[in-house]
Structure 1
Amino acid sequence: MTRFAFHLAPALMLAYGVVRLIDGRDGSHGPGPAWTWGHLLFLGSLLLYGAVIAGLYRRIRHGVPGAGTARRVTAGAVTAVAAFGLITFIRVAIVDIVVGLQAADGAEKSTLADRYADDPAVLPQAIYDIGPAFFMIGLLALLVQFAFITPGRKPVAALSPVLVVLGFVAITANLDLLPAGAALIWLALIPFTRNHPEAPRPADPQPAAAL
């Protein structure tokens, strides 16, 4: 399932980007069926990115020989940052879906979006605004750490964070480049869809022979 998520998470993001371009042909985005279906695709993508983050963490913690305590602690901290950012990103997608279903036109969509800006009011609005960036930073940091500690696969492992940076830069620069950015992220994650041998575990001590 985890290897499947490395494919499907960016694929659904790419599909959302295509639907978004179709929705924006009239010069505005939503509300309407394209807005709703697009954000459902986006929500599915984000949920699958949770499996991607978990899969990267497992690769670093269990699948890389010589990953010491400091590296495992670092991976855990970075995973927590990425997970927090992902949760706030999921909230953005859910709010956009709710707003799109409730709004009758673009003006009402903007009004409802402002109303839901700090809902649920458990965190300051500023955290909700910058939270998704933690997901991007955390995902990138996990890929960088994996590249540093992976023996024998340095060129392939080092290319993944570069592609992810290019993808995030494209998306941040212009949301119309979302399909291209998602394609770059997909390319970055493809190496993780292959089987990687687990680090050998020490054998259980054999009981002493009975005298």
Structure 2
Amino acid sequence: MKTRVPFIAAPLLVTVYGLFRLADGMEGDRGPGPAWTAGHVAFLAALVLFLPVLWEMRRRAGGGAFATATAVVGLTGVACAMVQIGIDIVVGALASDHADMARRFDDVQGVPGVMPVVYTVGPVLFYVGLAVSLGHVAARRAVPVWAPVVLLAGVAASAADLDLLPVAGLLILAALVPLVRGDRAARHAAGVRAGA
């Protein structure tokens, strides 16, 4: 399985989302409009690509009960975040202006359970699963110990200020790059063994 593309493309798409978000906010209010939609589509694509990233990290962490539970937590968070981004895209597409968009968000977020599941608690599970999975892989010495630290810095940057999403995406990319290198090394070793 080619694992390189998701490990590189997913965090880069987070950066793309952050750049569109900055461009969208240059005139004050964010959305609706092309920058809002393009940014959210980029983030939705990033979330889709994080699904195989989490599952591959589960494999590299040994695939046991803890690794599987951690991956499931992360995948659950991805699913919640995907619903949130889907809502954001639809609201942005239907709204006539920013005030209309705010009213539509109030209607959706007023539904019991939507805020914690889709906006506040649920998506956090993605970051928890991602960070713990990478920490588990580092504990098995499959990536350097600095990788989960850099990942946590990226997560902290995005949590501190969404305007830092471009930087957060690059930090997450830096944290995941050792997994790409590990994939290449494993394929090379397998090729050497096959040719021996």
Q: Deviations over 1:102-159 (max 9, x none)?
A: 001111111111222277x7x5642222101111011000011111112xx5xx5211
Kept in 2, the 8 Å contact 1:146–1:157? The answer is: no
- Shift of residue 13, structure 1, vs aligned partner: 0.7
Instruction: Name the amino acid aligned to 2:135.
Output: V
After TM superposition, give the deviation of residue 21 of structure 1 in Å. 0.7
Equivalent residue of 1:157, what SS? coil
- Give 1:187's match in structure 2, choosing from 174, 178, 184: 174
Q: Give the secondary-structure state (helix, strand or coil) at the position aligned to 2:76.
A: helix
2:135 pairs with one of 136, 140, 144 = 144
Q: Is the 8 A contact 2:41 2:89 kept in 1?
A: yes
Q: Output aligned runs, 1:51-130, within 5 Å.
A: 51-61=52-62, 72-117=64-109, 125-128=115-118, 129-130=120-121
Distance (Å, rounded) in 2 between the aligned partners of 1:50 and 1:144: 17
Paired with 1:27 and 1:78, the residues of 2 have a C-alpha distance of: 39
- CA–CA distance in structure 2, aligned partners of residues 124 and 4 of structure 1: 32
Q: Is the 8 A contact 1:143 1:157 kept in 2?
A: no
Cα distance in 1 for partners of 2:180, 2:110 equals: 37
| Matches of 1:13 and 1:118, distance apart in 2 | 28
Is the Cα–Cα contact under 8 Å of residues 136 and 168 in structure 1 kept in the other structure?
yes
Equivalent pair of 1:53/1:79 in contact (CA under 8 Å): yes
| Higher Rg | 1
* Cα 1:138–1:21 shift into 2, 3 Å: same
Deviation at 1:197, TM superposition (A): 2.9
| Matching residue's letter, 1:79 | A
Show CA shifts across 1:37-63 (max 9, x none). Answer: 11000100110011110111111226x
- Structure with higher helix content: 2
Structure 2 gap segments, 5+ residues each: 191-196
* Residue 11 (structure 2) aligns with: 10
Residue 132 (structure 1) aligned with residue 130 (structure 2): no
**Which residue in 2 is equivalent to 1:176?**
163
CA contact 2:108–2:114 (8 Å) conserved in 1: no
* TM norm structure 2: 0.88
- Tell me how large the CA RMSD over aligned residues is: 2.0
Distance 1:196 1:46 in 2: 26
Once the two structures are aligned, what percentage of the paired residues are identical? 36
